[in-house]
Every structure is written in C-alpha cells, then in structure tokens.
C-alpha cells in the first residue's frame, strides 16, 4: 500500500488529517508542501489545482479538502470508528466541524495564535490589535461550541469523533496563547473536553512544534 500525505507541517488542517491517521494507526509517508511559498511545485498543483494543503494520495487515488480526507481515512482503514452512526450525533459532528471551519479558524489560529506566537517566532511583524480582535471573535465561537458540545466525554458523545480532531488541532494552537487558554477555561464543557483530549498519544505524535530560526514569509 502507498499512502502519502502532502502538507505544511504547521497547518492545522494537515494536523487534522494526521490526527485521523494516528487514531486509526495507519502508517504513511509525508511530503512537505508550503502553500505560502513563492513557487508551489507544478507536480503538487497537478494534485491540488488550488495549491492548498493537505492532499492525500492512496495507491494513486488523490484527494484534497480536509473534511473529505478525514472521512475517507475513517472509511478506508480499519481501527476505531471516528464517525458516529446515530443520525443526530453525526449531524452534530458535521455541524461542529462546519462552525470551526467557517467561524473558528480565522480568529483562533490566524489572528490569535499567528500574531501572538507564530509571527514572532519566524521574525515577522505581529499586530496586537489583530490578536485582540481575534480574541473577541473567539469568545463568540467558543460560546457557540459550548452550547453544541455534548456533556459526555467527547464533543458529540461518549467516543472520539472527527469533530474532536478538527477542533483539537485549532485549540492546541489557541491555548498556547495565555489569553486563549484563559478564555477556554470560561467554558466548562470545552475545558473538560480539552483536558481529556490533550493527553492522547495522537496529539503528542502530531504536535508540529514551532520554528526555532527565522524563515521566509509564511502563515499557518
């Protein structure tokens, strides 16, 4: 079997795919692709015409878009099921993923994490006002997710789902900022959920770390 994940090591969306692969215990190869670089290789654009990440290639079958990739991983490989079968729980999983993508990624990651941690780490200028706007918008996102989250151990029920992996990749970055961690603590269900999710082996195995030297202009 040939399984290759193309992506940028600091991307939360690449980490979501890696988390799904880790939870299913699937071995794969990785190819680094920086979609923010000046020249994205033509070979990669042949796989993903929009030049974003990640892209998964399984025995010649190429697939892009994170939601499609994570669902494919769950369907194509043995291991614990990452999607509930009950209709309400499955719909809630899809809804939470949609909320995260549509309303959560930008403030949690691109505003708060990027301007407070990532940009300084790579020697780029950071904008405190942009981070403050992100924190304000994140409060609304977290309140909405708190209302949707199950009181059970994971976001949509008693077992891990793709919703947990999707949000977990972003909360890992968000809570690396002290104000982000403090804001999450104001939401009891989410705070309990994060304390359960954070120690999972898959989280440690996919942690991207941060660059230790200045790099060319990039984003997360």
Sign of the torsion formed by the C-alpha atoms of 104, 109, 111 and 112: positive
Residues 6+ positions from 39 with CB-CB distance below 8 Å: none
3-class state of residue 180 by DSSP: helix
At residue 148, φ and ψ (nearest 5 deg) are: -85, -25
Domains 3-76 and 87-200 share a fold: no
CATH no., domain 87-200: 1.20.1050.10
Cα→Cα distances 88→56, 92, 98, Å: 29, 6, 15
Domain chopping of the chain, boundaries: 3-76, 87-200
Answer for the pair 109, 12: CB distance below 8 angstroms, yes or no.
yes
Answer for the pair 208, 9: CB distance below 8 angstroms, yes or no.
yes
pTM: 0.94
Residues 6+ positions from 32 with CB-CB distance below 8 Å: 7, 8, 9
d(CA 98, CA 121): 30
Q: Which candidate, 203, 212, 218, 199, places its Cα nearest to that of 18?
A: 203
pLDDT tens-digit readout, 68-119: 999 999 999 999 999 999 999 999 999 999 999 999 999 999 999 999 999 9
What confidence score (pLDDT) does residue 50 get?
Answer: 96
Low-confidence residues in the chain, pLDDT < 70: 212-220
What confidence score (pLDDT) does residue 36 get?
Answer: 86
Cα→Cα distances 101→1, 36, 96, 107, 216, Å: 31, 19, 9, 11, 26
Q: Which candidate, 16, 7, 2, places its Cα nearest to that of 172?
A: 16
Domain 3-76, what fold?
Answer: Glutaredoxin (3.40.30)
Answer for the pair 151, 187: CB distance below 8 angstroms, yes or no.
no
The residue with tokens 């990669």 is: 44
Within 10 Å of residue 157's Cβ, how many Cβ atoms?
19
Task: Record the tokens describing residue 30, joined without a space.
Answer: 């990785």
């Amino acid at each position: 079997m040939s399984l290759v994940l193309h992506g940028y090591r600091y991307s939360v969306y690449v980490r979501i795919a890696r988390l799904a692969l880790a939870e299913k215990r699937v071995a794969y190869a990785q190819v680094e692709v920086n979609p923010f670089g000046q020249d994205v290789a033509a070979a990669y654009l042949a796989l993903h015409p929009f030049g974003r990440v990640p892209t998964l290639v399984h025995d010649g079958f190429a697939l892009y878009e994170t939601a499609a990739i994570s669902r494919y991983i769950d369907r194509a490989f043995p291991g614990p099921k990452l999607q509930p079968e009950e209709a309400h729980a499955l719909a809630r999983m899809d809804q939470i993923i949609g909320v995260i993508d549509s309303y959560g990624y930008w403030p949690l990651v691109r505003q708060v994490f990027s301007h407070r941690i990532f940009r300084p780490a790579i020697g780029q200028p950071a904008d405190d006002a942009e981070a403050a706007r992100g924190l304000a918008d994140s409060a609304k996102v977290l309140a909405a997710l708190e209302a949707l989250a199950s009181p059970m151990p994971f976001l949509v029920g008693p077992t891990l789902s793709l919703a947990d992996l999707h949000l977990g990749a972003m909360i890992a970055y968000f809570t690396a900022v002290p104000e982000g961690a403090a804001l999450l603590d104001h939401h009891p269900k989410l705070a309990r959920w994060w304390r359960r999710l954070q120690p999972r082996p898959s989280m440690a195995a996919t942690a991207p770390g941060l660059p230790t030297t200045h790099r060319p202009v990039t984003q997360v």
